[in-house]
Structure 1
Amino acid sequence: MLKIKSIAIRNFRSFKDTTVDLDDYTAFVGPNGAGKSTVLCALNIFFRQTEEAPTNLIELDVEDFHNGNVKEPVEITLTFHDLEPDAQTDFAEYYRSGMLIVSAVAEFNEASRKAPVRQFAKRSAMKEFGDFFRRFNDGAPAGELAGIYEEIQNSHPEFGLPKKGTKEANRQALRSYEEDHPERCVLIDSEDQFYGFSKGGDRLSRYVQWVYVPAVKDATKENVEGRNTALGKLLARTVRSKVNFESEIAALRDATLGSYKKIIQQQQTALDDLSKTLTAKLGEWAHPQAAARLEWTEDPLKSVQIADPMARLFASEGAFSGDLARFGHGL
């Protein structure tokens, strides 16, 4: 699990440059035109939530740029915190000072007149250490990294870095210094595409689930569990991972199929009588040795079908309890 700490939006629609801080529960309150929907749209772009989107969120248009300024990219940057240990390990190359920072960036292409959205991670790091970490990630040998470490020590004795050690020890010494001095760190773009929520991978989706419910929504279409419904997405993350109907339903299906076969075997005599009649007629009309036999047959896959149960939401108001279709929009 990880949580969104803040959303920074640059050059997107009504926002030139703004940052929105989030709590565990955050409500946007304001008049029409204040930008509430724009913040949610920015999150849809970041998480690639394209279902029911009125515009293309994978490739942005000129109108998506603030005041039509296509000379600067659209940037939607999310800062995550409270990363669980597995997430810290998975994002070790980006995780700094208890935070993970990822940006969705769209640069306008004059030829296509579109701005494809790509994701990049940002490192909160000291520029003085940039060369070391860049070469470390490139797989540089220990000797080369030791030389870079010594150059940092000689150039910045005020840092008070420990003596040169192993390749990993030097890396950890620099990271520890960064974490102890966040005021000296700046955001540095990674050179590799991050692939958070896209066709290239789903690194973030293992730890965070974005479920978008528009302000105007037909709740009666969302109250049944489904792969693309809000209820289905929430259940997949919270409940479906904890329950397993497969083994018990498989046993029930096998037992039912066995009973099904016994039933059709018991009713075979009805077809046997007709088979004798058909055989007699064929012997008269076609060939004395011709025969016909009718049998009940079953398809193991189709004859007995038992599906996993689907969750359905019911609501109550006052003394009445029932399906959402019988409630007003206020509920």
Structure 2
Amino acid sequence: MKIKRVRIENFCCLHKVDIAFDEITSFIGPTGVGKSTVLRALDWFFNGEKSVALSTDDIHSAVAGAGGERISVEVEFDGLTDFDREALGRYAPDDAATVSIWRTWDNGEDKITGKALAYAPFDEIRSVLGGAMAKRKAYNELRESTPSLGLPPAGSEKAVNEAMLAWERAHRDQLTEAEVEDTHFFGFAGQSKLAQLIDFVFVSADLRAYEEADDQKASAIARILDHAVDRTEADAQLGEIEENAQLARQAVHDDVYGPALKDISDALSVEVAKLTTGRQVIVTPRPYGRRGRPRRHSG
């Protein structure tokens, strides 16, 4: 799956921009026209919940202070694989060549929306205000008024959502295109649909070395290296070396400390037997690290 087109509205210096992407896309232009701003808008689209928070300062001057201050970044993807379709579910049906997802910031409210196939009456239930009870009521009313749907009873909002999704998967011929809000795209609820498909890393031209000094997952360079360097084989070999080394250390400790600790164990057991029955003390060596000797003997 790859980016096909990006549409940006009211983000910083970009009022309305529509950009088609190819295998390699270059932005060429003088300083200050918004080349980096396009990438920053994409950074907010993919990583807004983690590190990129917007404010009224990010609104384009044409709409700032005019009410209805809304920022929008829409990304259209193509080149969908079977893995992509499985992860995106109803947002990428088998007959769809592309999938569109957009993120909006409207007077401080951050929303994520995608175009999906849905059953229209279910969309009405999903949009019902008033919380879980109101949605359950709307679902039960539809279930009772249209028994031919064969909807199961549902006692919670989660059960309602699962029942509607299951019905939609089984009745694809009755679905139509709809705009569906869904926080699961970026893992807010632990599902992270896009995170398992694309990891967008924005490396600024003024990136400072000290900001990347720690090799952490969140750093831009570390994330790029995770994708560019396959550590699987090295990790497997290093893990085997460490396991063998641990076994060798244990053998040395058993050989050197074992006899003495057995004598200590026997002596302690004799003393404990004077106070209680059925008890025994066993002291064993515990190796520490690659070079160290045990700081204490444990039993």
TM-score normalized by structure 1? 0.56
In the alignment, what sits opposite 1:21? Answer: 20
Match of 1:256 in 2: 245
Cα deviation for residue 251 of structure 1 reads: 3.6
- Aligned with 2:185: secondary structure? coil
Counterpart amino acid of residue 74 in structure 1: I
- Aligned runs of 1:266-305 on 2, under 5 Å? 298-299=286-287, 302-304=288-290
Q: Percent identity?
A: 19
Q: Deviations along 1:15-58, whole A, 9 cap, x unmatched?
A: 2222111112111111122011211111111111688x7xxx33
The question of whether the paired residues in 2 share the 8 Å contact of 1:62 and 1:70 is answered with no
- C-alpha separation between the residues in 1 aligned to 2:231 and 2:284? 40
Q: How does 1:135-174 map to 2 (within 5 A)?
A: 143=148, 171-172=172-173
Match of 2:91 in 1: 94
- Number of the residue aligned with 2:45: 46
Residues 48 and 198, structure 1, Cα contact 8 Å, conserved in 2: no
Q: Distance in 1 between matches of 2:17 and 2:71?
A: 12
2:56 matched to 1:62?
A: yes
Partners of 2:233 and 2:214 in 1: CA distance: 18
257 and 100 in structure 1: CA distance in 2 versus 1, 3 angstrom threshold: same
SS across alignment from 1:31: coil
Q: Quick one: distance in 2 between partners of 1:81 and 1:23?
A: 11
CA distance in 1, matches of 2:170, 2:80: 24
CA distance in 2, matches of 1:266, 1:167: 66
How many residue pairs match? The answer is: 231
Q: C-alpha distance in 2, partners of 1:143/1:265? A: 73
Contact 2:187/2:193 (8 A) holds in 1:
no
* 1:220, distance to aligned residue in structure 2 (A): 8.1
Contact in 2 for aligned 1:133/1:171 (Cα 8 Å): no
Contact preservation (8 Å) 1:70, 1:107: no
Aligned residue for 1:26, secondary structure, equals coil
Higher relative helix content: 2
Q: Which residue matches 2:102?
A: 103
| 5+ residue gaps, structure 2 | 127-138, 151-166, 261-282, 292-299
| Structure possessing the higher radius of gyration over alpha carbons | 1
CA distance in 2, matches of 1:234, 1:117: 27
Q: Which residue of 1 aligns with 2:115?
A: 122
Matched residue type, 1:80: F
Deviations 1:125-163 (A, max 9, x none): 7xxx97367489979668359xxxxxxxxxxxxxxxxxx
Give the partner amino acid of 2:91. Y
Number of the residue aligned with 2:120: 131
**Where does the alignment leave 5 or more consecutive residues of structure 1 unmatched?**
109-114, 146-165, 176-186, 272-294, 306-331
The CA RMSD measured in Å over matched residues stands at 4.2
Q: Which residue of 1 aligns with 2:11?
A: 12
* One-letter amino acid of the counterpart of residue 84, structure 2: A
Q: Report the CA distance between 1:216 and its aligned residue.
A: 1.6
2:76–2:101: 8 Å Cα contact kept in structure 1?
A: yes
Whole-Å separation in 2 of the counterparts to 1:220 and 1:231: 12
Q: TM-score, normalised by structure 2?
A: 0.61
